[in-house]
Amino acid sequence: MMWEAAKRVIEKIEQAGFEAVFVGGAVRDFIIGQPNHDVDIATSALPSEIKAIFSETIDVGIEHGTVLVLDEGEPIEVTTYRTDGLYTDHRRPDAVTFVRSLDEDLARRDFTMNAMAMTRSGAIIDLYNGQEDINKKVIRAVGHAEKRFQEDALRMIRAIRFSAQLGFTIEATTLSAIKSLAEQIQYVAKERIHAEFNKVWISRFPAQGIAMLEQTTLSHFLQGSFTAADWEKFQTTNPLVGWAYFYVLNEQESFFSNYKCSNKEKIFAKQVAEAHGKLQEGWQVLDYFHYDIDVLYTAYDIARWREQAIAFSRDEIETRKAELPIATTQQLAISGSDVIEWAQKKGGPWLKEALAAALLAVLTKQVENDKEQLKEWFHDIYKG
Ligand code: ATP
Ligand code: MG
């Protein structure tokens, strides 16, 4: 249905006297025969001309020529044919120039498999033999590989990411260009590297991505250790899990700021590392209480990926969680003021200890989570 909406967009642009075609990842994935989440359209019409054709549009990146068209049902990105000007900072062109020819637009694209276009009726425009490269399962730079990576160093990490997603190899000339320019990866914003790594974590062949980072020597210019063998068994659908595993493999505090990780990623990774550490001696009831189930699952999976012996099954995590008499500290039937009243003492460090002891007594089922019973437990057992 996304293709249908996009076809209607192309038709309207053509009716207004311009060219429009499918480009980029959607064409690549169509040829490979796998689903793609977004369909991009390239056109000879200028952004202002696109805005005149459609009643509902949003400027999402008009300086790059991209307009989001809304009025065909689904949001569709329409980008004017363009060439990129000079690249002086190895990351973005100094200026983009809108052009009227598709050929020029395809020439600026990174890899042959990403430089194909498809007309509304399904004709493929393939000036760089992208289909042949897809059949050979190779990632090949469009044009002069070194020049292309000189222009934009992000393309080096994109090559790695695509090889992890598709299981393709990097063609020899393209590979040696990356090897010789690997240190230029330092010019790429860490946020962009973060975004590409997210895609590697959830890819089909993450170990291949890591192996390629080593092989290209890009790994030498990125923080952390990259050892493909560590990633052989790793598989996830959640990028958070990838960051947690990467952190467990290189526990270094500076890691999170270096890779511009979010607070959520940092907290999750640290908890997973902690829970993973405790797994060696076996988790206690307090661990099941303290850690979220996703943290426990991830720590467990990490132990398996690292081929560490675990004495229980993964399903047991859920059972142990479900068996807990309470799930949060707030659910404890007593509070600090109850204990102060029973002890007839002023608050102090003893209070925190007493509450922790009560929590443990409830969790280990020595006493029910009931105020009266906890009072008895406090007088008879805890206070002595
Ligand atoms: P995905 O399926 O992950 O979205 P994609 O190939 O669509 O992959 P995008 O980042 O969405 O990747 O980019 C769309 C298209 O724009 C690419 O297929 C490619 O033709 C071009 N492109 C994107 N980034 C670059 C770049 N850094 N250098 C050259 N061309 C690029
Ligand atoms: Mg895309």
Q: Kindly report, as residue ranges, where domains of CATH 3.30.460.10 are found in the chain.
A: 1-131
Q: Which CATH number fits domain 137-232: 1.10.3090.10, 2.40.110.10, 1.10.760.10, 1.10.3720.10?
A: 1.10.3090.10
Kindly report, residue by residue over 212-262, the tens digit of the pLDDT. Answer: 999 999 999 999 999 999 999 999 999 999 999 999 999 888 999 999 999
**pLDDT more than 70, % of the chain:** 100
Give the pLDDT confidence score for residue 301 in this predicted structure: 98
User: Cβ of 72: how many Cβ atoms within 10 Å?
Assistant: 18
Fold of the 332-382 domain: Serum Albumin; Chain A, Domain 1 (1.10.246)
In short, whether 155's Cβ falls inside 6 Å of ligand 1 is yes
The CATH code that applies to domain 1-131 is 3.30.460.10
Give the pLDDT confidence score for residue 88 in this predicted structure: 83
Ligand 1 atom closest to the CA of 26, numbered from 1? 7
3-state secondary structure at position 36: coil
Give the pLDDT confidence score for residue 225 in this predicted structure: 92
In short, whether 24's Cβ falls inside 6 Å of ligand 1 is yes
Residue 1 or 205, more confident: 205
Band of the pLDDT at 284, cuts 50, 70, 90?
Answer: very high
Band of the pLDDT at 382, cuts 50, 70, 90?
Answer: confident
Kindly report, residue by residue over 161-184, the tens digit of the pLDDT. Answer: 999 999 999 999 999 999 999 999
In short, whether 148's Cβ falls inside 6 Å of ligand 1 is no
In short, whether 36's Cβ falls inside 6 Å of ligand 1 is yes
In short, whether 143's Cβ falls inside 6 Å of ligand 1 is no
C-alpha dihedral (303, 307, 311, 315), degrees to nearest 10: 60
Distance in Å, CA 14 to ligand 2 centroid: 23
Is residue 384 scored above 80 in pLDDT? Answer: no
Question: Where on the phi/psi map is residue 319: left (φ > 0), alpha (ψ -120 to 50), or beta?
Answer: alpha
Q: Kindly report, as residue ranges, where domains of CATH 1.10.246.80 are found in the chain.
A: 332-382
Kindly report, residue by residue over 102-154, the tens digit of the pLDDT. Answer: 999 999 999 999 999 999 999 999 999 999 999 999 999 999 999 999 999 99
Is residue 37 scored above 90 in pLDDT? Answer: no
Residues 6+ apart with CB under 8 A from 161: 196, 199, 200, 203, 209
Distance in Å, CA 162 to ligand 1 centroid: 10
Give the DSSP letter string of 273-326: HHHHHHHTT---HHHHHHS-HHHHHHHHHHHHHTT---SS-THHHHHHHHH-S-
Q: What are phi and psi of 118, to 5 degrees?
A: -140, 135
Q: Kindly report, as residue ranges, where domains of CATH 1.10.3090.10 are found in the chain.
A: 137-232
Q: Kindly report, as residue ranges, where domains of CATH 1.20.58 are found in the chain.
A: 236-324
3-state secondary structure at position 86: coil
Q: Which residue from 344, 347, 330, 348 is spatially nearest to 378, judged by alpha carbons?
A: 344
Paired sense of beta strands 169-170 and 138-139, if any: parallel
The residue whose C-alpha atom lies closest to atom 6 belonging to ligand 1 is: 25
Give the pLDDT confidence score for residue 2 in this predicted structure: 84
**To test the ligand 1 pocket, which listed residue (38, 79, 104, 110) has its Cβ within 8 A of the most ligand atoms?**
110
Kindly report, residue by residue over 64-83, the tens digit of the pLDDT. Answer: 999 999 988 889 999 999 99
The residue whose C-alpha atom lies closest to atom 8 belonging to ligand 1 is: 25
CA distance 212 to 169: 9
Is residue 62 scored above 90 in pLDDT? Answer: no
Give the pLDDT confidence score for residue 43 in this predicted structure: 98
- pLDDT, the chain, mean: 95
Give the DSSP letter string of 353-364: HHHHHHHHHHHT
Give the pLDDT confidence score for residue 90 in this predicted structure: 84
Give the pLDDT confidence score for residue 309 in this predicted structure: 92
pTM here is 0.93
Give the pLDDT confidence score for residue 310 in this predicted structure: 94
Contact 293, 318 (CB under 8 A): yes
Band of the pLDDT at 377, cuts 50, 70, 90?
Answer: very high
**Residues having C-beta closer than 5 Å to ion ligand 2:** 25
The CATH code that applies to domain 236-324 is 1.20.58
Give the pLDDT confidence score for residue 119 in this predicted structure: 98
Distance in Å, CA 234 to ligand 1 centroid: 26
In short, whether 152's Cβ falls inside 6 Å of ligand 1 is yes
